[in-house]
């Protein structure tokens, strides 16, 4: 029986198909990675997925392709699959810090787990900074600055979790202490970092210290406000939008408008920017109406009209793009109702001289309508 079984195995081996010959005409993996990255930038996620699949068929342990796959899954809304992909990367040898950074953002149901992933990313990045492990971008001139920026963003992300009212962490006694400690470490890594200072300003506001918050914001903004809008040192748009919200909370309207102008010059379809510009002009109009004085040489009616125009633009873009922030749209529409009650009516630009509004009640009419 033993020889018979051996003969069967021998025959199976004899007639088994030979392994496929390597395809010498296949493009190198480096070219496939470059193409996949280009497709991701172009938001062609379906085709990018095919390229990453081809890479992983040839090299299942290719970390760069695995990470691209995770990014693609995030972009197409397959968050559970994306999380599993990044967990697989993070549990492997020498995981990149980006895997933990993505996992931190995908762990919104478990804030402590998110904090652990941020700390894991920070530990890896600090090791890279000390030169014990070569950073992936060490051929670039700004490699060290890039690593420092990523460390700061991980610290800031941790602070945001501690301060988020959606989690119980913000009610813990040591929440303030932890935020202070994290931002102190961030500023040690990158002194004067604008994002860290902006986050510190937010902490100061939560501590009812508006003067200290104002100083932090001014120090943060002055570090990049005179740079060209395309300069890499200018914070990304989401960070600048957060800065605008802090400016508005401190009634710093002029710098808020300047930051918004920079954002809209880069992307004039940014819904939140139009909303914040309308909200800013509304608040300025409210203040001008209460004091009876102009602001930036503009009467309250002019400011209210600007607010109406910006909010209408926000509303149109929100609907067209099916923007997910429903509370933002609800607030914009509420502000539009209040402006309508003040006699500030919107006229589409192709139906008037181009200013997009008309004021039917500005001559001697100063009805006391609540603008708050």
For tokens 């990158």, the residue is 190
Nearest to 203 by CA among 168, 162, 234: 162
Report the alpha-carbon distance of residue 363 to residue 368 in Å, rounded. Answer: 14
Let me know: does 241 contact 219? Beta carbons within 8 Å: no
Let me know: does 101 contact 121? Beta carbons within 8 Å: yes
Let me know: does 131 contact 104? Beta carbons within 8 Å: no
* DSSP-based helix, strand, coil % in the chain, nearest 5: 65, 0, 30
Which of the residues in the chain have pLDDT under 70? Answer: 1-25, 132-142, 349-372
User: Residue 42's CB: how many other CB atoms inside 10 A?
Assistant: 10
pTM comes to: 0.79
Query: Could you give the 3-state DSSP secondary structure of residue 298?
Result: strand
Domain range 29-94, CATH class:
mainly alpha
Q: What is the pLDDT of residue 23?
A: 54
User: Per DSSP, what are the bridge partners of residue 346?
Assistant: 357
The number of angstroms, rounded, from the C-alpha of 126 to the middle of its chain's C-alpha atoms is 23
Report the alpha-carbon distance of residue 281 to residue 311 in Å, rounded. Answer: 10
Let me know: does 335 contact 307? Beta carbons within 8 Å: yes
Please name the residue ranges forming H helices in 223-299.
237-249, 253-266, 271-291
pLDDT in tens, 281-329: 999 999 999 999 999 999 999 999 999 999 999 999 999 999 999 999 9
pLDDT in tens, 19-62: 444 555 678 999 999 999 999 999 999 999 999 999 999 999 99
User: Residue 299's CB: how many other CB atoms inside 10 A?
Assistant: 17
Give the chain's length. Answer: 372
Q: What is the pLDDT of residue 24?
A: 57
Q: What is the pLDDT of residue 337?
A: 96
Let me know: does 288 contact 251? Beta carbons within 8 Å: no
Q: What is the pLDDT of residue 233?
A: 86
Three-class secondary structure assignment of 314-369: HHHHHHHHCCCCHHHHHHHHHHHHHHHHCCEEECCHHHCCCCCEEECCCCCCCCCC
Measured in degrees and rounded to the nearest 5, phi and psi for residue 134 equal: -65, 130
Report the alpha-carbon distance of residue 163 to residue 75 in Å, rounded. Answer: 26
Q: List every span in the chain annotated with CATH 1.25.40.10.
A: 29-94
């Amino acid at each position: 029986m033993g020889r018979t079984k051996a003969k069967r195995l021998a025959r199976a081996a004899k007639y088994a198909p030979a392994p496929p010959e390597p395809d010498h005409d296949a493009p190198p993996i480096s070219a496939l990675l470059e193409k996949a990255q280009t497709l991701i930038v172009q938001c062609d996620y379906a085709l990018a997925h095919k390229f990453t699949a081809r890479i992983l068929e040839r090299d299942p342990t290719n970390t760069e392709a695995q990470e691209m796959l995770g990014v693609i899954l995030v972009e197409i809304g397959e968050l559970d699959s994306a999380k599993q992909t990044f967990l697989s990367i993070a549990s492997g040898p020498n995981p990149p810090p980006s895997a933990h950074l993505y996992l931190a953002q995908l762990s919104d149901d478990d804030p402590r787990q998110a904090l652990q992933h941020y700390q894991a990313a920070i530990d890896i990045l600090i090791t890279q900074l000390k030169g014990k492990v070569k950073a992936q971008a060490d051929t670039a001139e700004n490699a060290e600055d890039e690593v420092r920026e990523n460390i700061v963003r991980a610290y800031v992300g941790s602070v945001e979790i501690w301060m988020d009212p959606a989690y119980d962490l913000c009610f813990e006694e040591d929440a303030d202490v932890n935020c202070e400690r994290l931002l102190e470490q961030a500023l040690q890594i990158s002194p004067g970092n604008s994002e860290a200072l902006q986050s510190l300003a937010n902490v100061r506001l939560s501590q009812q210290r508006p003067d200290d918050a104002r100083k932090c914001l001014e120090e943060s903004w002055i570090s990049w406000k005179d740079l060209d809008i395309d300069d890499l040192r200018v914070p990304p748009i989401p960070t600048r939008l957060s800065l605008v919200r802090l400016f508005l909370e401190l009634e710093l309207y002029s710098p808020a408008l300047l930051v918004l102008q920079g954002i809209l010059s880069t992307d004039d379809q940014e819904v939140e920017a139009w909303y914040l510009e309308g909200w800013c002009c509304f608040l300025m109009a409210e203040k001008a109406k209460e004091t009876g004085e102009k602001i930036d040489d503009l009467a309250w009616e002019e400011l209210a009209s600007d607010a109406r125009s910006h909010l209408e633009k926000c509303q149109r873009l929100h609907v067209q793009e099916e923007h997910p922030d429903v509370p933002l749209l609800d607030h914009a529409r509420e502000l539009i109702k209040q402006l309508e009650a003040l006699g500030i009516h919107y006229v589409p630009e192709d139906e008037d001289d181009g200013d997009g509004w008309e004021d039917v009640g500005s001559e001697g009419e100063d009805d006391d309508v609540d603008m708050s």
